[in-house]
Amino acid sequence: MPGSRRVRDDIRISNRATYWPVAPLDLVVAAPLVARVLLGATPIGRVVQGVVYGAYLASALRDWHDRRGIRKIAFHREFGADLRHLAPMPREVREAEVRTLAQRLSDELTLERVPRRELAVEVDRHLTRYIAGITGQHVRSSAEVRGFALVGLAFPFALGACDMLSGDVALFRDTGLLEPHIIAHEFSHRKGYWKELHAQALGYLALVTSGEPVLRQSALLERLHRSLRVLAGDDHGAFDRLVTRAPLRPELRTLLVKLRPPLTGVERRLEAAMRRLYHLRMRATGQTGISDYDLGFTNFLYTFEISTTARQTPPV
């Protein structure tokens, strides 16, 4: 029947909470405190809390129901790579790739900045296109992005986040030319790809195949950034030296260095503690850990590009 085919090939996730004026999780956290301060421990205060919790859960349940019809990408079959199937990129290959990416980015540099709302719509369009090109199914979701959420205070090293229940996405700081990829990563979560490696890969592949210079540049810059992090490890000084030696335009060099600002002793300890906590959370959900963002991501692309079994063709 034509109607049932449209349902299968065109999924729309409501994401109602993403249109709220305040981040849904912020409301859930703040509701008990605000109700107690303004209304005290009264029946009205408890009703206010209940309304907030109910609206949040109703939105989450609606999205869960909408996502049930999604046909997920089988990453190992399509790309010859997945969490447990990654070929380690040799260091000399990685160093050569860094030089190639740096030179390409410098040669093709565009400093155009697209307004965030317009950028989010464009990123979502290309992500939807890329996924549909593999699964035959358009997964349509909200293109809303916030500029603040309380979770950013808890994880100061994060650039953005997506609430797994509501699909709400927030960016925590201006990352300049990298912003399209960060949005694509978080929107991949919103479309049901919760593993960080999958979100990194889909965000990259959607943007690098977009044909749009601003989006392609962001994807290549993210790949360069992550390879530099792998080469430098936890040594901030080594990262800065690698960036300085790479054949990069000054604008790109400045952006990359700003991504790893110097920290005080207290800030360094706090970041290390929160990174460990986040790493454990990832491990508990069947992921390798926080290294999936850089080592896993770049090894995924390397494995895809050398694969002899992948059904998809690696982008040039």
The verdict on 25 and 144 lying in the same domain is: no
For residue 1, pLDDT over 60 is answered with: no
The two three-digit tokens of residue 305, written as one number: 């590009």
The verdict on 42 and 93 lying in the same domain is: no
The verdict on 126 and 94 lying in the same domain is: yes
Domain count within the chain: 2
The verdict on 145 and 293 lying in the same domain is: yes
Instruction: For residue 55, tell me if it sits in a domain.
Output: yes
Instruction: For residue 150, tell me if it sits in a domain.
Output: yes
Whole-number percent of the chain with pLDDT over 70: 92
Instruction: Give the domain range for residue 37.
Output: 2-67
Instruction: For residue 314, tell me if it sits in a domain.
Output: no
The verdict on 117 and 245 lying in the same domain is: yes
What mean pLDDT do residues 251-265 have? 85
**Banded model confidence at residue 217, pLDDT cuts 50, 70, 90:** very high
For residue 290, pLDDT over 60 is answered with: yes
The verdict on 13 and 82 lying in the same domain is: no
Residue where the block lists tokens 């850990």: 289
The verdict on 122 and 52 lying in the same domain is: no
Instruction: For residue 312, tell me if it sits in a domain.
Output: no
**Banded model confidence at residue 183, pLDDT cuts 50, 70, 90:** very high
End-of-domain residue from the set 67, 83, 98: 67
The verdict on 82 and 39 lying in the same domain is: no
The verdict on 134 and 22 lying in the same domain is: no
Cα→Cα distances 68→2, 11, 192, Å:
20, 9, 9
End-of-domain residue from the set 40, 67, 94: 67
**Banded model confidence at residue 134, pLDDT cuts 50, 70, 90:** very high
Lowest mean pLDDT: which of 3-7, 223-227, 264-268? 3-7
**Banded model confidence at residue 236, pLDDT cuts 50, 70, 90:** confident
Which residue has better confidence, 236 or 12?
12
Mean pLDDT of the chain: 91
pLDDT of 41 reads: 60
The verdict on 237 and 154 lying in the same domain is: yes
Whole-number percent of the chain with pLDDT over 90: 75
Instruction: For residue 316, tell me if it sits in a domain.
Output: no
Instruction: For residue 110, tell me if it sits in a domain.
Output: yes
End-of-domain residue from the set 38, 67, 96: 67
The verdict on 105 and 31 lying in the same domain is: no
Instruction: For residue 240, tell me if it sits in a domain.
Output: yes
The verdict on 19 and 120 lying in the same domain is: no
pLDDT of 4 reads: 44
**List of long-range contacts for 68-76, beta carbons under 8 Å, 24+ apart:** 69/7, 69/8, 69/11, 70/11, 70/137, 70/139, 70/191, 70/192, 71/135, 71/136, 71/137, 72/135, 72/192, 72/193, 73/131, 73/134, 73/135, 73/193, 73/198, 73/202, 75/198, 75/201
Residues 6+ apart with CB under 8 A from 187: 120, 123, 124, 127, 141, 143, 162, 169, 203
SS3 state at 140: strand
